[in-house]
Amino acid sequence: MQLKEETLRREEVYHGRIFCVERALVRLPNGKEGQREVVRHPGAVDVLAWTDPETLLLVRQFRYAAGEELWEIPAGKLEPGEDPAVCAARELSEETGYAPGDLKELARFYSSPGFSSEVLYLYEARGLRAGSGEKDDDEFLEVRRIPLKTALDWVARGQVHDAKTLIALLLAGRRNIA
């Protein structure tokens, strides 16, 4: 089945600090025209960081968009042209103070492809070196070491409300990484 949409015209209708918004006119598979409205986002990384084979780092922070505090794995936006692995090491250091020894890509996915181009690159970090990272004094978050088993209990009880963190924890549980 032919599903692709052809872009006939596109226009940037909002240019922000973090993302832009684009409106487009497309040719639908049935030949008719349709409208699309999307967020253009630079992408982000998130890091499943192990302090020992059974314990990972979670950060708690207030998310303005959500209006509440959430438990998440360390994460951050890509700078223009930045290599995702370099970004993962930088964000881990800035948020937790730990520098990764070894980084491996676990998954990459769209956070919400119905309206946003954001791709998330999920890394796994091992061999952390405490204190060697440059922690950012201007981020307001609480860092905790949590056993994977505990984190998966939180998932089972519906207490983890961040998509990338759910994916990382469920992949870790499935692959028996811990």
- Write out the catalytic residue numbers: 139
Candidates 52, 54, 60, 147; binder of a second copy (CB under 8 A) is 60
- Beta-strand pair 44-52/119-126: parallel
Determine, following the binding rule CB under 8 A, whether residue 154 of this chain makes contact with a second copy.
Answer: no
Candidates 5, 52, 134, 153; binder of a second copy (CB under 8 A) is 5
Candidates 27, 51, 55, 107; binder of a second copy (CB under 8 A) is 107
Site string for a second copy, 126-145 (x = CB under 8 A): ------------x-xxx---
Candidates 65, 80, 81, 131; binder of a second copy (CB under 8 A) is 65
Phi-psi category of residue 176: left, alpha or beta, with phi > 0 → left and psi -120 to 50 → alpha: left
Alpha-carbon Rg for the chain, nearest whole angstrom, is: 19
Number of residues this chain uses to bind a second copy (CB under 8 A): 67
E-strand spans in 20-81? 20-27, 33-40, 44-52, 55-63, 68-72, 75-77
Q: How many Cα neighbours within 13 Å face the side chain of 98?
A: 27
The closest alpha carbon to 61, from 51, 73, 79, 78, belongs to: 73
Between CA 125 and CA 94 the distance in angstroms is 14
Residue whose entry in the numeric block shows the structure tokens 């998509």: 163
As measured in angstroms, the least distance from the Cβ of 86 to a second copy is 19
Determine, following the binding rule CB under 8 A, whether residue 174 of this chain makes contact with a second copy.
Answer: yes
Give the residues lining the site for a second copy (CB under 8 A).
1, 3-5, 7, 13-14, 16-19, 21, 23-24, 26, 28-30, 35-39, 41, 44, 60-67, 69-70, 72, 75, 77, 107-118, 120, 138, 140-142, 158, 160-164, 166-167, 170-171, 173-174
